[in-house]
Chains A and B, each alone.
Chain A
Amino acid sequence: MDSFEANTQFTQLLRELNPTVQSLRKAAHFAIKNWENEDYLFTSIMSILQDPKIEVNTKSTIFQFIDILVNESHTISSQPRSNYSYPYISSVKNSLPSILLDVLPASNNYNLHSVFNSLRNISRVLKIDCQKFEDDFSSFSPDILDDNDRQNIDLNVPYPNITLENSDSANDPVTRTWELLSQKRKQSYYERLRLLKHQKPVEQEVKESEMFNLRPKDKYGPNELSRKQILSRMEDDRETHKRSKENLWVVNRPKEVPYVTEHEFQQYYWNRYDSLSDKDEKALLETLDDFNTVVMASYKDNQF
């Protein structure tokens, strides 16, 4: 397949992408198979993301595709006697900050959560420690705003636009992406506070369109979601969530060891559990006691 043909086919695949495993894998495998045309194919990923007509939902799906692509490329290449040498990984890695800004355009953060999930997966594959960012993201602290921000909220100033300059260019691109993501999160919190502070409380009943940011049917805008799109997005997210559970059980065990390694034991079993608290232990013993009573009662003859 020549590069032009590969490019056309790939663009078609990306435009028709839907967030099912089959669809995402198919596109990823196509890209990996045509790794010789990486330059062309990667450019078409980027140009689709920058296309002003593409919807935010599709952008989220493409980000998931990038997650899968990195993952598959890594898995395939790390197999013994593999003919692949980690295609796409370095180009994705280097463009990750700008990809993030495309997927989370302006103050529109619909994709915040799904991007977080994918970015976490990517960082794990690339073995970049992002635990700090992850913890920050999933916990909540009002301290992410400084005094300056609070002043601006009081003055009802919108949050400044986030650009590539908002991250430290000396850092690793993945870390930069995390920095940008944290900014995005901060932005969304800032905007929420601003709204709570400056919007007058409404007493009477309001319509759906007055309560939520819903794109009216007749108005076109790729960066806003209609009610229908929100609902289909929810279904897609549920699908993604289901998919993420599919390989929970997978354990990375080196091929040459047929037994449970110490590392595996520690990571997957031992460290997963804390020692029982007194309360839990008591509950456990009570449950066992109940169970014993039930078993005893199930015999017709006296047991002891």
Chain B
Amino acid sequence: MSDRYRPPPTGPKGKRNYNEGSHPADRRPRPAGDKFTPTGPKRFQERDNYRPSSDSYKSNQNPNHSQRSFPTGPSGAKPSASGTRSAPPAGPSGYKSGTPGAGSKPTTTSTNGNYYNNTNKRHSGNFSTAKYDPLNKKPKFNPGALSRVPAVRQEPLKIPTKLDKNQIYSIRTARSSEIFQRTQQVGEGTYGKVYKAKNQVTSEFVALKRLRLETEKEGFPITAIREIKLLQSFDHKNVIGLLEMMVEQNQIFMIFDYMEHDLTGLLTHPELKLEDCHRKFLFKQLMEGTDYLHQKRIMHRDIKGSNILIDNIGRLKIADFGLARPMKIVKDGESPDYTNRVITIWYRPPELLLGSTDYGRQVDIWGVGCLLIELYTKHAIFQGYNDEVSQLHKIFNIMGTPTLEDWPDIQNLPWFEMLKPKINKVSNFEVLFKHSMTEDSFDLALKLLQLNPNKRLTAHQALNHHYFTKDPKPEPLFFLKELKGEWHEFETKKLRRKERKRLQDERERQKASGEVPGTASSRPNASPNTGMRSIPIPPSAPHTGPQTAPNSGGNDVEMTDPAT
């Protein structure tokens, strides 16, 4: 908010005299230093010079109670003018005294007609130049400014209840350059693009999220309004906050604090070595952010690595609320009827894959559990091939098919009949992951990744898990400051694509020259142009990110081809 904002004068709405020119501020002398000269049509000049006077506002706080309970009598029509220091010399006496009594007719009533006529003149005449000369210290007497008072008195029915158009507050900047200088793109999705930018005034870095409006046929997208509304309500160190909104050249930007990395990007760093204390530091923040959202009855509905932002000492913030929503309050037995087309598919819990529309905060917990595993293995645990069947298959293969004790009412999910396992698969989870994790973290992961949503820990319960209380204690990731570059999924993916293409070219060349393929892929760092930031590609598990949830931070323009 700019310094120029001042709360409007108090008093009953109808009595606030929002008529143009009648406000005391319009008669306030400009300080000498204020050299702002508005340009543009007169209408704009008036608007841009609008400065509700804080002084007169404060003076209105005087104990004169008649102000708040003004009678509808004609003399009461000017409460906010009382005590204004720019009262003109020839003002009406009742007005000047600042104590308009109820029903007492001011002496100026007889002159009303004259003033009223002046008003008309003022509108057609040179009113703005006389009144708004910014260099003129002393207020000029302008009968026009006063004339509104009698005008209101004469036509009490016409008291406007809203601000006039020219008083709607807005800032018109005359900067020659943009305040935020964009440096590079750091993300992309169906919603639009994210840029890193530098504030030219404060030299701070911010992230600009540009809303894509070209594809919107029906005006400003309601999903963006939902997102902004949610973002505005956040106040937590582990949840991203909206700094401001910006409209520039018909584009709309959301402005956030800039964070150097995101979790997916960071985990692909070839030289990143996380100790258990670091993982705990990150995961605790993630859990606290999730708990905060869940306490506020908000489901994020797009938890995944690239939406978890991390700064250069490992502070973590949950971002991208494009799919988030507050939970409905429903009676027992009623379904809230949410859409099940949410959450990027690798992080989508089984109840959503089976078509539930009656889910809750547990859907986020599943994703958080996946990320806990990812902190240890650096790879997403359930990498399906972009559809529900394959994703559920991956989950059941690792976690086992649900038994009756596990999940008795899985039966009630809409698509269970279609995707009913015809075998009993036992869980391989322990075999696959226990050895690469600590005992406590494995136990926590197991409790977060329960197939049955009602058996998953809540965020609050998870924070009380002994993983967080036992040693090692969480440690900030100070070494990230030494890490070269900034690691977002967007850039690493781009590099990976390049790398993949390079490998493919190499393979083709080898094929052409009759060499045995497979030797080249073991030297991913050989590429001179990728240098420090080249990424080794595991030949079997390309960590390229799954199909994203629709309308969300779909960072995947290019889908992974399962065949490669």
Q: Which residues of A contact B (CB under 8 A)?
A: 109-114, 135, 138-140, 142, 185, 188-189, 192-193, 195-196, 199-203, 205-206, 208, 210-214, 225, 227, 230-231, 233-234, 237-238, 241-242, 244-245, 272-274, 290, 294, 298-301, 303
Contacts and interface: CB of A to CB of B under 8 A. Distances in A.
A300 B393 contact: no
Contacts of B335: 138
B526 interface: no
A200 B424 contact: yes
A11 to B, nearest CB: 28
B423 A211 contact: yes
B404 interface: yes
B421 interface: yes
B417 A188 contact: yes
19 contacts: A109-B417, A110-B418, A112-B417, A135-B333, A140-B412, A142-B408, A188-B411, A192-B404, A199-B423, A208-B393, A210-B423, A211-B422, A212-B419, A212-B421, A230-B415, A237-B414, A273-B329, A300-B5, A301-B6
A301 B417 contact: no
Interface string B403-437: 11000110110110111111111101000000000
Interface string B300-327: 0000000000000000000000000000
B424 A212 contact: no
Nearest to B58: A301
What DSSP secondary structure best describes chain B's contact surface?
Answer: loop
A238 B57 CA distance: 56
Interface in B52-74: 54, 57-58
B411 A189 contact: yes
A299 B424 contact: no
A135 B426 CA distance: 33
Nearest to A135: B333
B104 to A, nearest CB: 31
B414 A211 contact: no
A294 B415 CA distance: 44
Given A110-B417, A189-B411, A298 B1 contact: yes
A274 B331 contact: yes
A211 B415 contact: no
Given A206-B397, A212-B389, A234-B355, A140 B424 contact: no
B347 interface: no
Given A140-B409, A188-B411, A300-B6, A241 B339 contact: yes
Interface residues of B, number: 47
Given A192-B420, A237-B415, 20 more contacts: A138-B333, A138-B335, A139-B333, A140-B411, A200-B424, A206-B425, A208-B390, A208-B393, A210-B422, A210-B423, A211-B422, A212-B420, A214-B389, A230-B388, A230-B415, A230-B418, A233-B418, A238-B339, A238-B341, A301-B6
Contacts of A242: 339
B387 A231 contact: yes
A202 B425 contact: yes
Interface in B110-126: none
B396 interface: yes
B309 to A, nearest CB: 23
Contact of A138 (B412, B419, B421, B425): B412
A276 to B, nearest CB: 10
B417 A196 contact: no
Given A140-B409, A272-B331, A211 B396 contact: yes
Contact of B419 (A113, A202, A230, A241): A230
B389 A196 contact: no
B403 A196 contact: yes
Contacts of A273: 329, 331
Contact of A205 (B5, B337, B397): B397
A195 B422 contact: yes
A3 to B, nearest CB: 38
B514 interface: no
Nearest to A138: B412
A170 B331 CA distance: 35
A142 B54 CA distance: 70
Contacts of B422: 195, 199, 210-213
Given A241-B357, A299-B7, A211 B339 contact: no
Pick the most buried of A138, A206, A211, A233: most chain B CB atoms within 10 A of its CB: A211
Contacts of B6: 300-301
Contacts of A237: 355, 414-415
A206 B403 CA distance: 17
B417 A238 contact: no
Contacts of A213: 420, 422
Interface string B248-265: 000000000000000000
B549 to A, nearest CB: 12
B414 A113 contact: yes
A36 B408 CA distance: 50
A193 B412 CA distance: 15
Contacts of B7: 299, 301, 303
B337 A245 contact: yes
Contact of A199 (B3, B397, B424): B424
B398 to A, nearest CB: 9
B340 interface: yes
A242 B396 CA distance: 29
A259 B333 CA distance: 30
A231 B393 CA distance: 14
A132 to B, nearest CB: 13
B523 to A, nearest CB: 30
Interface in B210-237: 235
A193 B420 CA distance: 12
Contacts of B415: 113, 230, 233-234, 237
B421 A238 contact: no
Contacts of A274: 331
Given A138-B412, A242-B339, A301-B54, A203 B426 contact: yes
B284 to A, nearest CB: 24
B404 A196 contact: yes
Nearest to B232: A294
A298 B54 CA distance: 16
Nearest to B330: A272
Contacts of A111: 417
A298 B331 CA distance: 36
Nearest to A114: B414
A214 B335 CA distance: 30
What are the nearest 8 A-B pairs in CB distance?
Answer: A140-B409, A113-B414, A201-B424, A109-B417, A208-B393, A201-B426, A199-B424, A202-B425
B425 A201 contact: yes
A112 to B, nearest CB: 5
A200 B426 CA distance: 10
A196 B424 contact: yes
Contact of B397 (A211, A225, A238, A244): A211
Contacts of A203: 426, 428
Interface in B1-40: 1, 3, 5-7
A211 B424 contact: no
A113 B415 CA distance: 8
Contacts of A227: 389
Contacts of A238: 339-341
Contacts of B331: 272-274
A94 B6 CA distance: 71
Nearest to A185: B411
Contacts of B393: 208, 211-212
B418 A225 contact: yes
Pick the most buried of A200, A212, A237, A272: most chain B CB atoms within 10 A of its CB: A212
Contacts of A139: 333, 412
Contact of B424 (A195, A208, A241, A272): A195
A241 B329 CA distance: 19
B33 to A, nearest CB: 19
